[in-house]
């Protein structure tokens, strides 16, 4: 038996097609495969049986030919989904953030874009194209040689993450285990870490404020944990991402 956990997450379309060819050859030789994915089209095209798990429990398990997308998605989210791609009704407002000529030699060059209120901006590219490095540099994690940042029409200077947080920026890293969490710290402390200055009095962290703050956020985001005093390493990947 071969277990494949999100194998296409970092593959190009051509590489993905090649993977599926290999999977079919293995299957024909009698090899069993457990294929884990959030990409429904891949699951329906390549799997004989579909098992849905939610919050660490098996919700359903059916032959692929006896189920459909609506049923699977309903099992995943726990309710009937009426609109997968609702019409976009929001109208983006004024420009809130602008990047001009952002450059770090050998990494990215002359990057410029703007972001408006109420807008989601996607940055696309293959692995190694520089997407991650650009965002890390904007947030002050990595350096940049030249370029300007404007927030609400005024130029700002971000030299480190503290500066970025002070200006109201948040950063969800692509690698939660090595960059987004301190795994042996508690769930509570991990949630509170970027906000400790607001939770401290005379430079001493107020334990009750920290607990109340982390408890409220964990409830709002649906973090599934027996106790937020447990280490972050005890959580599933999805719940670590929420933290």
Q: What is the pLDDT of residues 18-54, one digit of tens each?
A: 999 999 999 999 999 999 998 889 999 999 999 999 8
pLDDT 10s digits, 117-158: 999 999 988 878 889 999 999 999 999 999 999 999 999 999
Residue 226 and residue 208 in contact, taking contact as beta carbons nearer than 8 Å: no
Structural contact between residues 44 and 64, judged by C-beta atoms closer than 8 angstroms:
yes
Q: Taking residues 76-94, what's their average pLDDT?
A: 83
According to the CATH classification, is domain 95-166 in 3.40.50.300?
yes
Mean residue pLDDT across the chain: 92
Answer whether 0.85 is exceeded by the pTM.
no
Domain ranges of the chain: 2-77, 95-166, 176-242
pLDDT at position 42 = 92
Distant-in-sequence, close-in-space partners of 14: CB < 8 Å, separation ≥ 6: none
At 97-117, the pLDDT tens digits run 999 999 999 999 999 999 999
The pLDDT of residue 133 is 94
pLDDT at 11 over 90: no
pLDDT value at residue 218: 95
């Amino acid at each position: 038996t071969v277990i494949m956990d999100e194998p296409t997450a970092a593959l190009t379309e051509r590489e993905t097609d090649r993977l599926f060819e290999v999977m079919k050859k293995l299957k024909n030789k009698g090899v069993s495969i457990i294929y884990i994915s959030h990409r429904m089209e891949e699951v329906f095209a390549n799997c004989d049986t579909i098992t849905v798990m939610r919050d660490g429990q098996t919700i359903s398990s059916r032959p692929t030919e006896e189920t459909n997308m609506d049923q699977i998605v309903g099992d995943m989210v726990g309710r009937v989904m009426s609109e997968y791609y609702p019409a976009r009704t929001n109208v983006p407002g004024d420009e809130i953030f602008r990047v001009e000529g952002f450059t770090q030699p050998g990494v990215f060059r002359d990057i410029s874009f703007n972001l408006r209120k109420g807008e989601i901006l996607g940055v696309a590219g293959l692995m190694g194209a520089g997407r991650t490095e650009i965002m890390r540099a904007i947030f002050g994690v990595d350096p940049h040689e030249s370029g300007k940042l404007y927030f609400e029409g005024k130029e700002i200077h971000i030299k480190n993450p503290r500066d970025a947080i002070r200006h109201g920026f948040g950063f969800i890293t692509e690698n939660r285990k090595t960059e987004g969490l301190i795994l042996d710290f508690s769930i509570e402390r991990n949630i509170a870490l970027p906000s400790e200055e607001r939770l401290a009095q005379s430079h001493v962290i107020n334990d009750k404020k920290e607990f109340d703050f982390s408890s409220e956020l964990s409830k709002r985001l649906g973090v599934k944990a027996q106790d937020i005093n447990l280490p972050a390493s005890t959580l599933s990947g999805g719940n670590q991402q929420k933290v």
